[in-house]
């Protein structure tokens, strides 16, 4: 019913831990916001999803991808917060990406697809997740261009004004994230040769952008250390999955 993964310093092992770390951070944020009994459903399902994926429980990927957004819709109806159903659509993309990107990168046998289809799906899902993370799920764009960003999770919405140093950091992070996406698309998706650049170099630059985004939340919005852990987990997903996926692809081609 489950498989305990090997824990070592290999990229594959660190990638699995990064995947688990993502769900642990989501669970921690749920605990922080918990005010009633029903609020504890969120951290419980996040921990359950993360552990089931980490332990390779059968059908855990499809269960997490579809189950978590469905639970969000049900909770939204129960709590009379219908906007939660809207966010469930984005959560479908986030959880689906977190569930499938590591498996596609590692060539998980339970996927039951050939290597060519696996790497193609990895490229598509990775690109979609990276673009959405940079442009939709971060505050880098408004922080870099306008010097402000908003916290939509607060009621009323809170707007934060950046000082010049913080805006410079936002601009550098946004630029690195965009360049990282372009490098991955060029080298990984389209197969272009960009000097010594490899797809995982693009992933590392995207990760730098995520760290800049987390810095803004911690330094400007004073959200706490969990944002750093989020950036650490995200860097594992973006950097290590690209590294592992194309290593596997090179091995397959050489064979």
Report the pLDDT value the prediction gives residue 62, as an integer from 0 to 100. Answer: 95
Q: What is the pLDDT of residue 247?
A: 86
Cα–Cα distance measured from residue 56 to residue 1, given in angstroms and rounded to the nearest whole number:
8
Greatest distance between any 2 Cα atoms in the chain: 58
Q: Is the pLDDT of residue 113 over 50?
A: yes
Who wins on pLDDT, 64 or 6? 64
**Residues β-bridged to residue 149:** 160
Q: What's the rounded mean pLDDT across residues 219-247?
A: 95
pLDDT tens by residue, 12-46 = 999 999 999 999 999 999 998 888 888 898 899 99
Across the chain, mean pLDDT equals: 91
Q: What is the pLDDT of residue 253?
A: 52
Cα–Cα distance, 112 to 108 (Å, whole number): 8
pLDDT digits (tens, 9 = 90+) for 172-229: 999 999 999 999 999 999 999 889 999 999 999 999 999 999 999 999 999 989 999 9
Q: How confident is the model at residue 249 (pLDDT cuts 50, 70, 90)?
A: low
Does pTM surpass 0.85?
A: yes
pLDDT digits 0-9 by tens, 114-139: 999 999 999 999 999 999 999 999 99
Q: Check residue 248 and give its pLDDT.
A: 63
Answer whether residue 244 shows pLDDT above 50: yes
Q: Residues 41-96: pLDDT tens digits? A: 889 999 999 999 999 999 999 999 999 999 988 888 887 777 777 788 888 999 99
What pLDDT band is residue 254 in, cutting at 50, 70 and 90? very low
In the chain, the percentage of residues whose pLDDT exceeds 70 is 96
Cα distance between residue 37 and residue 79, in whole Å: 12
Annotate the chain with three-state secondary structure.
CCCCCCCCCCHHHHHHHHHHHHHHHHHHHHHHHCCCHHHHHHHHHHHHHHHHHHCCCCCHHHHHHHHHHHHHHHHHHHCCCCHHHHHHHHHHHHHHHHHHHHHHHHCCHHHCCCHHHHHHHHHHHHHHHHHHHHHCCCCHHHHHHHCEEEECCCCCCEEEECCHHHHHHHHHHHHHHHHHHHHHHHHHHCCCCCCCCCHHHHHHHHHHHHHHHHHHHHHCCCCCCHHHHHHHHHHHHHHHHHHHHHHHHHHHHHC
Give the model's pLDDT for residue 250. 59
Q: How confident is the model at residue 6 (pLDDT cuts 50, 70, 90)?
A: confident
% of the chain exceeding 90 in pLDDT: 74
Distance CA(188)–CA(54), nearest Å, equals 26
Q: How many residues does the chain have?
A: 255
């Amino acid at each position: 019913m489950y498989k305990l993964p090997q824990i070592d310093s290999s990229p594959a092992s660190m990638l699995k831990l990064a995947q688990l770390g993502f769900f642990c951070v989501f669970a921690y944020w749920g605990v922080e916001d918990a005010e009633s009994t029903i609020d504890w459903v969120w951290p419980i399902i996040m921990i359950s999803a993360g552990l089931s994926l980490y332990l390779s429980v059968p059908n855990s990927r499809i269960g997490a991808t579809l189950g978590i957004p469905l639970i969000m819709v049900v909770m939204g109806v129960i709590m009379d917060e219908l906007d939660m159903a809207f966010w469930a659509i984005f959560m479908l993309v986030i959880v689906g990406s977190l569930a499938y990107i590591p498996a596609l990168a590692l060539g998980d046998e339970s996927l039951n697809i050939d290597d060519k289809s696996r790497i193609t799906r990895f490229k598509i899902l990775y690109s979609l997740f990276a673009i959405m993370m940079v442009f939709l799920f971060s505050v880098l764009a408004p922080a870099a261009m306008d010097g402000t960003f908003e916290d939509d999770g607060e009621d009323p919405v809170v707007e934060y004004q950046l000082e010049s140093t913080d805006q410079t950091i936002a601009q550098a992070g946004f630029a690195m994230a965009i360049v990282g996406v372009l490098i991955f698309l060029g080298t990984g998706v389209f197969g272009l040769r960009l000097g010594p650049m490899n797809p995982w170099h693009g992933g590392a630059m995207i990760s730098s952008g995520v760290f800049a985004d987390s810095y803004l939340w911690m330094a400007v919005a004073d959200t706490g250390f969990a944002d750093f852990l989020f950036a650490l987990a995200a860097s594992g997903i973006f950097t290590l999955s690209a590294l592992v996926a194309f290593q596997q692809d090179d091995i397959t081609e050489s064979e």
